[in-house]
Amino acid sequence: MPNRDGMDYNIVDMKYAYAAGLFDGDGCVSVSGKSLIVNIGSVDINPLAFIFELFEGNITDYQPKGNRQLTHTWTVYGKNAGTFLRSILPYLITKKSQAILGLALLTVAFDDESNRTPIINEIHRLNKRGIKKEG
């Protein structure tokens, strides 16, 4: 259906764009052992339930100490993380580099430490708070 700007958007594109916005704002690419992990955190479970409907995965709850809000985290691992990242990649803005690195990691053999280590180190560097992407 054409939009006001004359562009033709389909519902799947809009859903992936919404998922990308959630990931750009509250998502993370990480590695644990040899597994790629993608997660999105939120105090509102509804956006995460939407992501779960599209990509499955797991939703977990965490109650911080004190008078803080219950938080929810949607998580997906390995090849499923790759499926998610490939689906949202065209719509990413702030975390596009992390997504590209996560996808690159999936193409490297588990026992190929000489190629895995630089990718993992760059993911860690980009995940540090305060680090701004150049360009």
| pLDDT tens column, 52-104 | 999 999 999 998 888 888 899 999 999 999 999 999 999 999 999 999 999 99
Helices (H), the chain: 11-26, 45-55, 78-88, 96-106, 113-127
Mean pLDDT of the chain: 88
Model pLDDT, residue 48: 97
Map out the domains of the chain with their CATH numbers.
11-127 (3.10.28.10)
State if pTM tops 0.85.
no
Model pLDDT, residue 2: 52
Q: Is the Cβ–Cβ distance between 105 and 31 less than 8 Å?
A: yes
**Adjacency order of strands within the sheet including 71-77:** 27-32, 35-42, 71-77, 58-62
Decide if pLDDT at 133 tops 70: no
Model pLDDT, residue 30: 94
Report the distance separating Cα 69 and Cα 63, nearest Å: 7
pLDDT > 90 in the chain, percent = 60
| pLDDT tens column, 14-57 | 899 999 999 999 999 999 888 999 999 999 999 999 999 999 99
Which tokens sit at 36? 């790629």
Report the distance separating Cα 84 and Cα 103, nearest Å: 10
Model pLDDT, residue 124: 87
